A and B are shown apart, each in its own frame.
Chain A
């Protein structure tokens, strides 16, 4: 007889993983289902990595409410789980008189959203905070709470904690069919696997509309909105001190320039509606727009080397808010349309969803023990293993640098391969350790990393590469 899970969560992005973590504190059996070979391979890995306060959210929306709540939850969780984060603050710059005139209404909106430390600053203050900005700023809005965060560690931390607290993680399980059975269970199937559960939570990101249709609903359609980004060399990091935000328009938050927690500078994203939910390609036009905008805001940036370019797809819908709905009769909760703030809002969403589950009839009884998690630190602001004499004395592998650009030691690579959610692919290692993410993009260490992964997992290097070809990154 097949085991019946109390709850199945579809999608192991930031949102699904946060929900799995939240539910793992209760006496339930849950399963986190992911189509890809690892957690965090969807939109969660390709965004601008800002921990938003929600100061500019539309007041009264669920998004505004959950962002606000999530911010409080993350304040505790980030240090607890060791997630790389830098509380830089955001500086929204008005470049025209017209933009300058919108600042008071943005300030009012921030205050309505409960973000009370936001304030309007003069052009002089703008240049005091950011001397390298191009000339011509009219003034700005300072948002002290906007911070930068590691979007790779976040879903891994959530999912790892969930697994440590007995959630089952099923990778390589693309859900294709969902059947509500007469016995009060739900059958969830992929082409090669199936499982049974009582409750289903749909956190399938770009595909959340398709899962929703499996339940017979047509409340929303996801249109992938592509955002392209350029990552600049670490040498550019000292050019700015804050997240430089543009004045948002009704359709997008606009192109920003932000440091990353790894010590690079990010320029982007663009916003373009597409049809293909897999089209994460960068485009010549997108890059051109970014270079123009980047040059207008921070001229010195453009003369630095580019380390990487990428594109992410926002799960945009025809609605202006998250599509979170409980269908109690079907024991189903839809968590879709989490467009451009999901990394920040995930913990708030998870808490809200557990409330919806209670409303739908599930009893949530806390476990005696809820284990915490501490993730390996891959940020730039704190101490990395190669800087830690005690750690190297204990284990010399932490002093053996394999990826020179990002200074990733062999010890960190081995730890990632043998972690609770093991890195099984090069891309998995990339997100867990930062290997291959630096300026040489593998010129020096790519082959060595394939070898280490092969050795440690008992596969041949050819098998590792074949898997990489199959999964992409």
Chain B
């Protein structure tokens, strides 16, 4: 079998992988190889035919496809090796991955590996919504491929399950395709559509006015014989049910890291994020293997993922030069209503490139403080006016450098 060698192998040519590749080249790494299983490089943004990309990393506003092209172009111009239609199928050695492509099977051995395989949306089946297996059920991903990539019909009247930023993306796609929105539902007491910056905000608010967001509402059944004919909505506050007619249902915004390659390599997986466990330098539990982007915790905006890719590249570069690897030592644990945090482990007390931790909560909370403990020792306190579900919050990470690595795990708790 054909074995290729490279300095850094990056799995996934989305914003995370490509910006990492670009940075590595700029740092002078000789050979950077990016593989992606799709026909084209660019990752998820390729499919989002609306604006709202690139604000934090390029300081410009692009549409998804423009943004993706920009990264691909820059990466190629800087000498990154990109291989599309190449699926990583498993591990054949500590730092060797196997792949399948139309050119045949092969293996790639690398001095360091970055996993940037993104995430996917939890489909209807995984949410166990009862009813027949009917046509007309989508995720945002399949919807956008239907509408923008393949120009296929999806229906005339849709219900969007979810009311967060990606639900809004589905909303825009449906609007552009001339499809009526029968309802947008969320099990939470409020919708969770926050706007990254104001110019878009006003367009979106205007659009939202025309859709009814049903809060505290769950889609409890899908009705229809062969195609969706309606959904049953259950109102969580009253327990009452109601039937809403529609011929398409879009399940949005419930994310699972695409962690197949990570799990196949036996990487430690964090219970909360469901992504690989990483320290503040994006190091996984396996020597020489790093992870960043949506693979770590589900969807964030593309620019945030790209900036993580950039940071990860610096960490990889440092590893290539020093060959130091400490290994995960101290887990960072969370207590309800905090659902996850990352980095979620600490390996060493060196200067950390991640200056903060990112966490999420499962319920709305006002005027609370988040406290970081090690045993009974309070390491850090930070107050927040408001915490909302599905919103990633930053916790200052200064305390990360002054730790006793041999002591008890770190714990994050919320107090009123």
CB of A419 closer than 8 Å to a CB of B: no
CB of A179 closer than 8 Å to a CB of B: no
CB of A396 closer than 8 Å to a CB of B: yes
User: What 1/0 mask marks residues of chain B from 330 to 363 whose CB sits below 8 Å from any chain A CB?
Assistant: 0000000000000000000000000000000000
Contact residue among B128, B142, B226 (Cβ-Cβ distance under 8 Å from A472): B226
Docked Cα-Cα span, A439 to B130, in Å, equals 17
In the complex, the answer to whether A446 meets B146 with C-beta atoms within 8 Å is yes
User: What 1/0 mask marks residues of chain A from 431 to 473 whose CB sits below 8 Å from any chain B CB?
Assistant: 0000000011111101110110000000001100100111111
Q: Which residue of B lies closest to A284 (CB)?
A: B130
Please provide the chain B residues from 185 to 242 with a CB less than 8 Å away from any CB of chain A in the complex. Answer: 220-221, 225-227
CB of B392 closer than 8 Å to a CB of A: no
Closest CB of chain B to A32's CB: distance in Å? 24
In the complex, the answer to whether B133 meets A399 with C-beta atoms within 8 Å is no
In the complex, the answer to whether A309 meets B125 with C-beta atoms within 8 Å is yes
Docked Cα-Cα span, A309 to B137, in Å, equals 14
In the complex, the answer to whether B125 meets A441 with C-beta atoms within 8 Å is yes
Docked Cα-Cα span, A393 to B124, in Å, equals 38
Q: Which residue of B lies closest to A290 (CB)?
A: B128
In the complex, the answer to whether B227 meets A444 with C-beta atoms within 8 Å is no
Please provide the chain B residues from 138 to 175 with a CB less than 8 Å away from any CB of chain A in the complex. Answer: 138-139, 141-142, 145-146, 149-153
User: What 1/0 mask marks residues of chain A from 395 to 408 whose CB sits below 8 Å from any chain B CB?
Assistant: 01101110010010
In the complex, the answer to whether B226 meets A447 with C-beta atoms within 8 Å is no
The interface residues of chain B lying within 8 Å CB-to-CB of A198 are none
Given contacts A306-B128, A448-B145, A465-B153, contact A443 B133 (CB under 8 A): no
Most chain A CB within a 10 A radius of its CB, from B87, B125, B141, B220: B125
CB of B132 closer than 8 Å to a CB of A: yes
Q: Which residue of B lies closest to A397 (CB)?
A: B102
The interface residues of chain A lying within 8 Å CB-to-CB of B101 are 399-400
Most chain A CB within a 10 A radius of its CB, from B121, B149, B226: B226
Given contacts A282-B130, A392-B104, A396-B103, contact A443 B225 (CB under 8 A): no
Given contacts A404-B37, A407-B87, A441-B125, contact A461 B150 (CB under 8 A): yes
Docked Cα-Cα span, A397 to B132, in Å, equals 34
The interface residues of chain B lying within 8 Å CB-to-CB of A400 are 85, 101-102
In the complex, the answer to whether A444 meets B120 with C-beta atoms within 8 Å is yes
Closest CB of chain A to B43's CB: distance in Å? 12
Q: Which residue of B lies closest to A404 (CB)?
A: B37
CB of B64 closer than 8 Å to a CB of A: no
In the complex, the answer to whether A308 meets B125 with C-beta atoms within 8 Å is yes
Please provide the chain A residues from 373 to 414 with a CB less than 8 Å away from any CB of chain B in the complex. Answer: 386-387, 389, 392-393, 396-397, 399-401, 404, 407
Closest CB of chain A to B128's CB: distance in Å? 5
For chain B, what secondary structure do more than half of its interface residues adopt (helix, strand, loop), or is it mixed? mixed
In the complex, the answer to whether A472 meets B225 with C-beta atoms within 8 Å is yes
The interface residues of chain B lying within 8 Å CB-to-CB of A283 are 130
Given contacts A281-B131, A284-B130, contact A447 B37 (CB under 8 A): no
Contact residue among B1, B126, B133, B142 (Cβ-Cβ distance under 8 Å from A447): B142
User: What 1/0 mask marks residues of chain B from 98 to 126 whose CB sits below 8 Å from any chain A CB?
Assistant: 00111111000000000000001111111
Count of chain A residues with a beta carbon within 8 Å of a chain B beta carbon? 49
The interface residues of chain B lying within 8 Å CB-to-CB of A468 are 135
The interface residues of chain A lying within 8 Å CB-to-CB of B263 are 235
In the complex, the answer to whether A386 meets B132 with C-beta atoms within 8 Å is no
The interface residues of chain B lying within 8 Å CB-to-CB of A397 are 102
The interface residues of chain A lying within 8 Å CB-to-CB of B145 are 444, 446-448
In the complex, the answer to whether A401 meets B87 with C-beta atoms within 8 Å is yes
CB of B96 closer than 8 Å to a CB of A: no
The interface residues of chain B lying within 8 Å CB-to-CB of A230 are 128
The interface residues of chain B lying within 8 Å CB-to-CB of A392 are 100, 102-105
Q: Which residue of B lies closest to A281 (CB)?
A: B132
Given contacts A407-B89, A447-B149, A462-B152, contact A440 B100 (CB under 8 A): no
CB of B134 closer than 8 Å to a CB of A: yes
Docked Cα-Cα span, A74 to B109, in Å, equals 44
Docked Cα-Cα span, A392 to B103, in Å, equals 7
CB of B256 closer than 8 Å to a CB of A: yes
Docked Cα-Cα span, A439 to B139, in Å, equals 12
Given contacts A281-B130, A386-B100, A387-B105, contact A443 B153 (CB under 8 A): no
In the complex, the answer to whether B142 meets A442 with C-beta atoms within 8 Å is yes
In the complex, the answer to whether A473 meets B133 with C-beta atoms within 8 Å is yes
Docked Cα-Cα span, A310 to B134, in Å, equals 11
Given contacts A386-B100, A389-B105, A443-B141, contact A451 B150 (CB under 8 A): yes
Docked Cα-Cα span, A399 to B2, in Å, equals 15
CB of A185 closer than 8 Å to a CB of B: no
Docked Cα-Cα span, A305 to B142, in Å, equals 19
Docked Cα-Cα span, A141 to B132, in Å, equals 36
Q: Which residue of A lies closest to B98 (CB)?
A: A387
Contact residue among B1, B132, B151 (Cβ-Cβ distance under 8 Å from A280): B132
In the complex, the answer to whether B104 meets A393 with C-beta atoms within 8 Å is yes
Closest CB of chain B to A410's CB: distance in Å? 9
Docked Cα-Cα span, A404 to B227, in Å, equals 25
Given contacts A278-B225, A284-B130, contact A399 B102 (CB under 8 A): yes
A-B CB contact pairs (8 Å), 17 listed: A278-B225, A281-B130, A282-B131, A287-B130, A307-B126, A309-B130, A387-B105, A399-B85, A399-B105, A439-B120, A439-B126, A441-B126, A443-B121, A443-B139, A443-B141, A444-B142, A446-B142
| 10 tightest A-B CB contacts, nearest first | A472-B226, A396-B102, A441-B123, A447-B145, A443-B141, A447-B150, A399-B102, A281-B132, A308-B125, A469-B227
Which A residues form the contact surface with B (CB < 8 A)?
230-231, 235, 278, 280-284, 286-287, 305-310, 386-387, 389, 392-393, 396-397, 399-401, 404, 407, 439-444, 446-448, 450-451, 461-462, 465, 468-473
Knowing that A287-B128, A443-B139 touch, tell me 14 more A-B residue pairs with CB under 8 angstroms: A235-B263, A284-B130, A308-B125, A401-B87, A407-B89, A440-B141, A441-B139, A446-B142, A446-B146, A461-B152, A468-B135, A469-B135, A469-B136, A472-B133
